[in-house]
A and B are shown apart, each in its own frame.
Chain A
Amino acid sequence: MSAGESIIEVSSLKKAFGDNVVLKDISFDVKKSEKVVLIGPSGSGKSTLLRCLNRLEDDYEGKVLFEGENVNGASKEKLRLLRQKMGMVFQQFNLFPHKTVLENITFSPIKLKIATPQEAIAHAHELLKQVDLSEKADAYPQSLSGGQQQRVAIARALAMNPEVMLFDEPTSALDPEMVGDVLGVMERLAKNGMTMIIVTHEMSFAQNIADKVLFMDDGMIADSGTAKHIFKETNNTRTQSFLSKVM
């Protein structure tokens, strides 16, 4: 796939929980290597949108294409393959507490026969080095700080060799002094050309990393553009009022 081609295309996405319409006609696309940042007030639908992309949220209208393949129409087997290519990092880390750090990272690649156990272990050690946690391979998640757990979670997602990484407020559950380590890992990932979709409240990070910022409000993309546009130039009053509250 050449640079500039869309890796994710979302069109007319609508999602409701019962009577509560949470996403109202969302369309955007993500190009290979692009860093897309989602910002917006609480409850505006950022997490829901992210979760529709790998279909952790089901039953939505509209279309999500990943590398040209229909995510919402995919069979169970197909969906599993698509999910392998979309790494996801959660606010609450969600590491498997009954597995060591190394097992957390190697479990899926081995189980899904992406790699032999030896390959998976070698890859895991390499990834742990990338997130500066080489010495923690045999530790259990509960013994790690939040920042360390989140970096393991990133390594775990990377172990599947994903094409895209989805981040849902990866630093919101962290003590302030841990935030920098995690953002640092994400910045390195960005430099290496990873395609990333990031929900975050870290505005200066967003400004630095984003190729494109989507401002969500009340289930819609109320404003979008380059970081410069959103943070400096926009005339959108809703964007301005949101930013004045969070910055």
Chain B
Amino acid sequence: MFDFLKQYYPVFVEGTAQTIIISIIGIMIGILLGLIFVMMRLSKIKFLSYIARVYIAIVRGTPAMIQVMLIYYTLSKVLEVPQIQFLGSGLDRVIPGSIALGINSGAYTAEIFRSGIISISNGQTEAGLSLGLSDRTTMFSIVLPQAVRNILPALGNEFISLVKESSVLFYIGVQEVTAQALGVGGTLYDFVPPLIVAALIYFVLTFILSQLMQLLEKKMGRKYLRSN
């Protein structure tokens, strides 16, 4: 059933590499946007907070597929990306695609950050301020590190769902795992085996990611309890 792999495995390797790359870029952009938008969302400046709410509401209320296509077609009008091939896809597709993943993930990440920040007692902020620290130092050195520790499980879930959702980039022609599997299926006139391979690849990727997140959680949790 899986004999085709002998011939087609390089295609899956390429697709897996592509999926990993777009996921990493998407996660990084998502974290950055999440941080920016959570600061705006919690800002005392009403206008900034409003913008952040609108962004979050739009991203959460519309399908990722449509977001990706909208961003791809919009960006391809304004951005001149040279048509360099990268792991079987044009950079003119990979770059807008990864940005779209990041923009999508940023909204969820912002909400996760917000729940984490709210979970840290006001006493932490007050202790920081009472020592003469600035609002910014108090946020970035006192509150956020603790918030991040509390939200690691939720962040892990978000990263995992981003890896899986990255398959929507298939719609704009990025040759990630799903696209490659469908391509192979087309040549074989049988979609089931290559899709099973793709599913297994996603499973292995998300499994590794969740193990890494658990490791990180354990490490941070243990540290807090050191007694001398």
**Are B126 and A140 in contact, CB atoms less than 8 angstroms apart?**
no
Residues of A close to B145: CB separation below 8 A: 98
Instruction: Report if A160-B132 is in contact (Cβ < 8 Å); known contacts: A139-B227, A142-B224.
Output: yes
- In the assembly, what is the distance between CA of A243 and CA of B163, in Å? 65
Query: Which among A92, A136, A142, A157 is the interface contact of B228 at CB below 8 angstroms?
Result: A136
Inter-subunit contact A140/B226 (CB<8 Å) = yes
Contact code string B116-149 (vs A, CB < 8 Å = 1, else 0)? 0000010110111111111001000110011001
CB neighbours of B127 from chain A (8 A) = 88, 90, 94-96, 153
Q: Which residue among B124, B128, B129, B132 has the maximum number of chain A CB atoms within 10 Å of its CB? A: B132
Contact between B131 and A83, CB atoms less than 8 A apart: yes
Chain B contributes a number of interface residues (CB within 8 A of A) equal to 24
Does chain A have a CB within 8 A of B223? yes
- Quick one: CB contact mask for B200-220 with A, threshold 8 Å, 1 for yes? 000000000000000000000
A83–B227 contact, CB under 8 A?
Answer: no
The reply to whether B133 and A80 contact each other, CB–CB distance below 8 Å, is: yes
A83 to B121 Cα, complex, angstroms: 20
CB atoms of A86 and B227 under 8 A apart = no
Which residues of the other chain, B, contact A84 by a CB distance below 8 angstroms? 131-132
A245 within 8 A of B: no
The answer to whether A97 and B130 have CB atoms under 8 Å apart is no
B225 interfacial by beta-carbon distance below 8 Å = yes
Beta-carbon contacts under 8 Å, A103-129 to B: 107-108, 111-112
Min CB distance A91 to B, Å, is 9
Residue on B with the closest CB to A108? B131
Taking a contact as CB atoms under 8 Å apart, the answer to whether B123 and A98 are in contact is: no
- Residues of B within 8 Å of A142, CB to CB, are 224-225
* Closest beta carbon of chain B to A71's beta carbon, Å: 13
Tell me whether A108 and B223 are in contact in the complex, defined as CB-CB below 8 angstroms, given that A90-B123, A90-B127 are known contacts.
no
Q: Does chain B have a CB within 8 A of A203? A: no
| Additional A-B contacts beyond A98-B224, A144-B227, A160-B132 (12; CB < 8 A) | A56-B130, A83-B132, A88-B126, A88-B127, A94-B124, A96-B127, A97-B224, A98-B145, A100-B226, A140-B226, A156-B131, A157-B130
Q: How distant is the Cα of A160 from the Cα of B227 in the complex, in angstroms?
A: 25
The DSSP consensus for interface residues of chain B is helix
Contact of A92 among B123, B141, B142, B149 (CB under 8 A): B123
Sorted from nearest, which 6 A-B pairs have the closest CB atoms? Answer: A84-B132, A143-B227, A94-B127, A88-B130, A94-B123, A108-B131
Q: Which residue of B lies closest to A90 (CB)?
A: B123
Distance to closest chain B CB from A157 (angstroms)? 7
A138-B228 in contact given A98-B146, A111-B141 (Cβ < 8 Å): yes
Contacts known (A97-B146, A98-B145); A112 close to B133, Cβ less than 8 A: yes
* B134, closest chain A residue (CB): A80
Assembled-state Cα–Cα distance A112/B130 (Å): 13
Closest to A86 in B: B130
**In whole angstroms, how far apart are the Cα atoms of A92 and B127 in the complex?**
10
A136 to B226: give the CA distance in the assembly, Å: 10
Contacts of B131 in A (CB 8 A): 83-84, 108, 112, 156-157, 160
Tell whether, in the assembled complex, residue B130 and residue A83 are in contact, meaning their CB atoms are under 8 Å apart. Answer: yes
Chain A, 52-104, CB within 8 A of any chain B CB: 54, 56, 76, 80-81, 83-84, 86-88, 90, 92, 94-98, 100
Does A135 reach chain B (CB closer than 8 Å)?
yes
Which of B129, B133, B228 sits near A135, CB closer than 8 Å?
Answer: B228
